[in-house]
A and B are shown apart, each in its own frame.
Chain A
Amino acid sequence: MNVISRGIKNAFRNFTRLVAIVIIVGIVIGLSLAMVVARQAVDSKINQVKSNVGTTITIQPAGIRGFSGSGNPLTQSQINEIKNFQHITSLSESLNARLNSSQTNLVADVNLNNFGRRFLQNQFSGNSSFNFTPPVTIEGTNDPTNLSNSIGGGTFKLQSGSSFNGNPNQDVALVGTNLATKNNLTTGSTFKAYGSTFKVIGIYSSGNNFSNDQIIIPLLALQNLSSQPNTVTKVIVGVDSLSNIDALTSKISSTLGSSADVTNSIQQTQNALTPLKNIQTISLYSFIGSIIAAAVIIFLLMIMIVRERRKEIGVLKAIGASNSKIILQFVIEAITLTLLGSIVGIVFGFLASAPITKVLVSSSSSSGTSQSSGFGSSGSNINNLRNHFNHQFLGGLRSNLINVHAIVGWSIVIEGVAIAIGIGILGSLAASSIIAKIRPLEVIRTE
């Protein structure tokens, strides 16, 4: 029998109290573990999303969004100012335009349906019957296989033929599958645009109808034919690492000033990540709260136990025990109680982590979505389009974010045990000062 075994044995002195404390501490430790698990799951998801989003900066003329908005296009001289900045790995430039029926012989594969009519009726308000021929979207780019420049986005996949390299001043075109089908175009076919004859060198698909209804031609060709020399509507800047993206965004933004909107891929995901970040905060505060609650429980329990065993402590001191030895005995007793609690807590945490994480993610995600809906009801067309864009990009991201998986690993179990030991030590600190103050003579006097 030594101080350690005595401390452990003392934890079992009162069975009813032992059971009550183990259950209470177990639930609190279980909750704190569930919060750690939820936080880890969310951290992991955020990192996964960030790594998937990539390291790109988007530069657009200030105030423009797709074919809407106002302002002036970016110029080549503006691009030249930034293109040699450190950490830039690529510059993908593009210019978009719309070809109406007098500028091309192609017909867009657009069926207005309800959404298209609703949007157009806003423009032709009061005129219930209107005739509208949808324009054909044409994209000039120096990076044809990168559809991040395209309004519709998507992943470029060549169905037939080949792509053009770089930015040749040639009348060649890549045509989306929907547009090609609508106009019976195949590789080698020709079509008219801006009075010139373009040769179809490839048919591509993007995974979405919007991009599949476009033409992609060399940037120089579109700049010349559309009489917009040295201008672009979008630049995608590749950055060498995630850590440099914010600094480079700021640098480009300050260089281009108010003439350009400069955003990066991380910023674009911020709104979508906000609900998850809220969970991070909630889980952190809940974790801290649980730990404090457990420490307070042990603290009060140890004060109660020390007061109860005041006489015993006095006797131990009288027969030669040092303060440190008695304190150690009580600390070990507290650690034993919290470790037993942690066993219950780990089991509870194991069972509760996944449901708690799920509830946190679902409730946070739904509140994030409703916030977004509120923003979309502002009424202006620009805001509607912006929301359309945001919902298209972020909506998919949000649905993906709900798939957060809570996993209780060994590290969590070890953390649980460490937390229990910490709580035991923390909770018995106040008891220590009471122990130190007990005078054995008082014990003899109260005989």
Chain B
Amino acid sequence: MIKVTKLTRIFKTNSETVKALENISFTIKDGTFASIVGRSGSGKTTLLGLMGGLDKPTSGSISVGNKEITSMNDSKLIKYRSSKIGFVFQSYNLIPNLSALENVMLPLEFNKVESSQRQNLAKEALISVGLDENQIKRKPARLSGGQQQRVAIARAIVTKPKLVLADEPTGNLDSHTAKVIFKLLKDLAKSENTTIIVVTHDLEIAKNSDLTFKIEDGKFIKGGSNAKRS
């Protein structure tokens, strides 16, 4: 379970103070496919970054499982990110000079998985997202956008994290491929009991999510079907 309580994030510059998030609270059950929708600059990515342990809130708390992540120091956050979190980015962000297989092996290395097991686990993850033996040996430049995003999803799930955070995962894909990737993520949430939170502009994704949050000016304005809002 993911529990966010009274989360506020304020950015201060020399000339101004921006409230990116203000007093956000929600709870998401394990295995939920949730989406966060909102306009650019509404605070979606800030929320994603805070849940992923990439940033620290000005106030409030976030618990993932039983772990309170907002009080963790940097080294604990690194461990948290490598073992409990998977990230999927809009531009895939694969390392260009590494093969698909090597890209997926990276989180296993950072998570200190035995080197002898890394290749098999990475291969399993890649095959589970629909890539074949031939494709997993290719470098990203030799894969289509949809295939690259599959590799990115495989990289996000290879350590079997509790939470996958996806920032516009279908933003660079055509509508057909976007639907395939969406289905893939949704199936993963069910089969692995992994919580998946997707930041998106795609209303189709939002409509088909278990839970949808709309965010505007750093505040939730409308809850989804199974949200427990406080």
Contacts and interface: CB of A to CB of B under 8 A. Distances in A.
Given A322-B78, A440-B49, 19 more contacts: A2-B109, A2-B115, A10-B97, A13-B96, A315-B87, A315-B93, A318-B52, A318-B81, A318-B87, A319-B87, A319-B106, A319-B107, A319-B110, A319-B156, A320-B83, A322-B110, A444-B48, A445-B45, A447-B168
A10 to B, nearest CB: 7
A117 interface: no
Contacts of B87: 315, 318-319, 444
A439 B49 CA distance: 11
Given A1-B105, A2-B115, A441-B55, A447 B91 contact: yes
14 contacts: A1-B102, A2-B115, A3-B109, A10-B97, A318-B54, A319-B82, A319-B87, A319-B110, A320-B78, A320-B81, A321-B110, A444-B45, A447-B89, A447-B171
B110 A444 contact: no
Contacts of B54: 317-318, 439-441, 444
A157 interface: no
B5 interface: no
Contacts of A318: 52, 54, 81, 87
Contacts of B93: 311-312, 315, 443
Interface of A: 1-3, 6, 9-10, 12-13, 311-312, 315-322, 325, 439-441, 443-445, 447
B177 interface: no
B22 to A, nearest CB: 18
Interface in B110-140: 110-111, 115
Contacts of B91: 447
Contacts of B96: 13
Interface string B38-79: 000000011011001011000000000000000000010011
A10 B102 CA distance: 13
B47 to A, nearest CB: 11
A319 B155 contact: yes
Contacts of A1: 98, 102, 105, 109
Contacts of A9: 97-98
B90 interface: yes
B24 to A, nearest CB: 17
Contacts of B105: 1
B97 A320 contact: no
B95 A312 contact: yes
Contacts of B168: 447
A32 to B, nearest CB: 31
Contacts of A439: 54-55
B88 to A, nearest CB: 10
Nearest to A326: B110
Interface size of B as a range: 35 or more
A447 B90 contact: yes
A321 B46 CA distance: 21
A447 B167 contact: yes
Contacts of B46: 441
A6 B98 contact: yes
A322 B91 CA distance: 22
Given A319-B87, A320-B82, A320-B111, A444 B167 contact: yes
Interface in B147-200: 155-156, 159, 167-168, 171
Contacts of B110: 319-322, 325
A325 B83 CA distance: 16
A319 B109 contact: no
A365 B171 CA distance: 74
A444 B88 CA distance: 10
Contacts of B156: 319
B20 to A, nearest CB: 11
- Of B48, B85, B97, most buried by chain A (CB within 10 Å of CB) is B97
- Of A316, A321, A325, A447, most buried by chain B (CB within 10 Å of CB) is A447
Nearest to B106: A319
A52 B122 CA distance: 71
A171 B54 CA distance: 105
Contacts of A440: 49, 54
A13 to B, nearest CB: 5
A15 to B, nearest CB: 11
Nearest to B171: A447
Nearest to A312: B95
A13 B139 CA distance: 12
A325 to B, nearest CB: 7
B97 A13 contact: yes
B157 to A, nearest CB: 12
Contacts of B89: 315, 444, 447
Contacts of B102: 1
Contacts of B98: 1, 6, 9
A113 to B, nearest CB: 82
A310 B98 CA distance: 17
A12 B168 CA distance: 32
A2 B110 CA distance: 10
Nearest to B50: A441
Nearest to A5: B102
Contacts of A312: 93, 95
A439 B11 CA distance: 15
A440 B93 CA distance: 12
A3 B110 CA distance: 10
B56 to A, nearest CB: 10
A204 to B, nearest CB: 81
A136 to B, nearest CB: 90
A2 B48 CA distance: 29
Nearest to B79: A320
Contacts of B55: 439, 441
Contacts of A315: 87, 89, 93, 95
A318 to B, nearest CB: 5
Given A441-B49, A444-B49, A445-B45, A316 B106 contact: yes
A310 to B, nearest CB: 12
A312 B93 CA distance: 7
Contacts of A320: 78-79, 81-83, 85, 107, 110-111, 159
